[in-house]
Structure 1
Amino acid sequence: MRNIAVGIFMAISAIACRNNKPDSIDKAEAANKKVVSVSADDLRFVVQAASGGMMEVELGRMAREQSSSQAVKDFGQTMIDDHSAANGELRNMAATKGITLPQKPGEEHQEMINKLAAKKGNDFDRAYIDMMVTDHEEDIDAYVNELKTGNDMKIKTWVEQKLPTLRHHQEMAEQLQKQQLK
């Protein structure tokens, strides 16, 4: 009887451990606890920016495949191109500072991907563009905040270089949103 109880306990423990796996951001943040050359706030920003950038690329791919609008498909390709380039620059900068970046989008960003995965055509277009407007507003706020409060000059320089592109993306998304309302 004791062996059965121990076996049940071990099985329940194994299931619980699998359900509590840290997401990609948690893993990166845990690895970054050893990084002392960059402040905790700067580290958090870089990790979130990497996760968000990966989400933008994945959503851009989805737009290319699931949209019914050539303008939305083109916007998706712009997201792929611009965010892939920015992600590469961020990876290179992070490597020089010993910062570990997530390997895939974190849970919050993955949820956004999952929300759009089943949509197609006009339903996808509306949801994607609305998401892009909101997401770029939040990204711009986070980037501006990093410029104001960040401590690391390399990170701040990268942010300063990326802000015009994010603002351009925001304008493009807002314009597409207006076109959809017609």
Structure 2
Amino acid sequence: MKTPTLALAAAMAALGMAADAGQPMNDLQIAHTAYTAGGLDIRYAHLALAISENDAVRDFAQTMIRDHSAVNDAAGRLIAELNVTPEDNDLSRALVDGAAAKRAELMALTGNAFDCAYAANELGYHQIVNQTVAETFIPAVTVAPLKALLEDALVTFRAHEAHAERMVGGLECAG
């Protein structure tokens, strides 16, 4: 279950292609992508609260809403303080497109099938996002307050990954 979702993997491949093409993301693009990723995880969590009856899944979803909202709120305050406008980019657009497909897939499921798919998606999502934040975004950011925000958020997101891994292990999923 440690495989990231196909859509997320495609989005991350887009990031790699942009870097290979000599087009590294700038701070405003990184900020937009990080904010977008958090917002998408909040939407996944709201879906889990609407569909799941599993206490562990619902608790995880509530944690995602609380923590990702807090990080996105902090990012919004930083953007206002710096008086900048984040830039949409290929990676943030690919994340949005992939998440729409994943939400449609999840909405077709119920019961344990939903819980297992949601949990596996959350684990894969946090694995790839954490890797991207740690290895690509933080090293590339040039604005100190944004770097600090990403570093602080990464601590929380790594805890989410561990929580998702425990959740996956606690569910009775086929495969």
Q: List structure 1 segments (4+ residues) > 3 angstroms apart after TM superposition.
A: none
Cα RMSD, aligned residues only: 2.1
TM-score normalised by L of structure 1: 0.71
CA distances 1:2-60 after superposition (whole Å, capped 9, x unpaired): xxxxxxxxxxxxxxxxxxxxxxxxxxxxxxxxxxxxx8432222111111111111111
User: How far apart are the structure 2 equivalents of 1:101 and 1:130?
Assistant: 30
5 Å-filtered alignment, 1:37-116, equals 40-97=25-82, 98-100=84-86, 106-116=96-106
The amino acid that maps onto 1:178 is G
Greater relative contact order structure (CA < 8 Å, 6+ sep):
2
Percent of aligned positions that are identical: 26
**Inter-CA distance 40–111: structure 2 relative to 1 (3 Å threshold):** same
**Structure 1 residue 68 displacement after superposition:** 2.7
Determine helix, strand or coil for the equivalent of 1:151.
coil
> Which consecutive residues of structure 1, in runs of 5 or more, have no partner in the other structure?
1-38
Determine helix, strand or coil for the equivalent of 2:171.
helix
Determine helix, strand or coil for the equivalent of 1:100.
coil
Q: How many residues align?
A: 143
Determine helix, strand or coil for the equivalent of 1:106.
helix
**Inter-CA distance 51–77: structure 2 relative to 1 (3 Å threshold):** same
User: How far apart are the structure 1 equivalents of 2:98 and 2:79?
Assistant: 22
Partner of 1:126: 116
User: How far apart are the structure 2 equivalents of 1:111 and 1:90?
Assistant: 26
The amino acid that maps onto 1:131 is N
CA distances 1:131-155 after superposition (whole Å, capped 9, x unpaired): 0011001111111122222212111
CA contact (8 A) 2:38 2:69 kept: yes
**Structure 1 residue 111 displacement after superposition:** 2.4
Equivalent of 1:165, from 121, 131, 156? 156
Partner of 1:178: 169
Partner of 1:12: none
> Which consecutive residues of structure 2, in runs of 5 or more, have no partner in the other structure?
1-23
Partner of 2:10: none
Partner of 2:20: none
Determine helix, strand or coil for the equivalent of 1:119.
coil
TM-score normalised by L of structure 2: 0.74
User: How far apart are the structure 2 equivalents of 1:59 and 1:88?
Assistant: 18
**Inter-CA distance 48–114: structure 2 relative to 1 (3 Å threshold):** farther
Equivalent of 1:147, from 138, 143, 153? 138
CA distances 1:73-96 after superposition (whole Å, capped 9, x unpaired): 010000011111111111221233
The amino acid that maps onto 1:111 is A
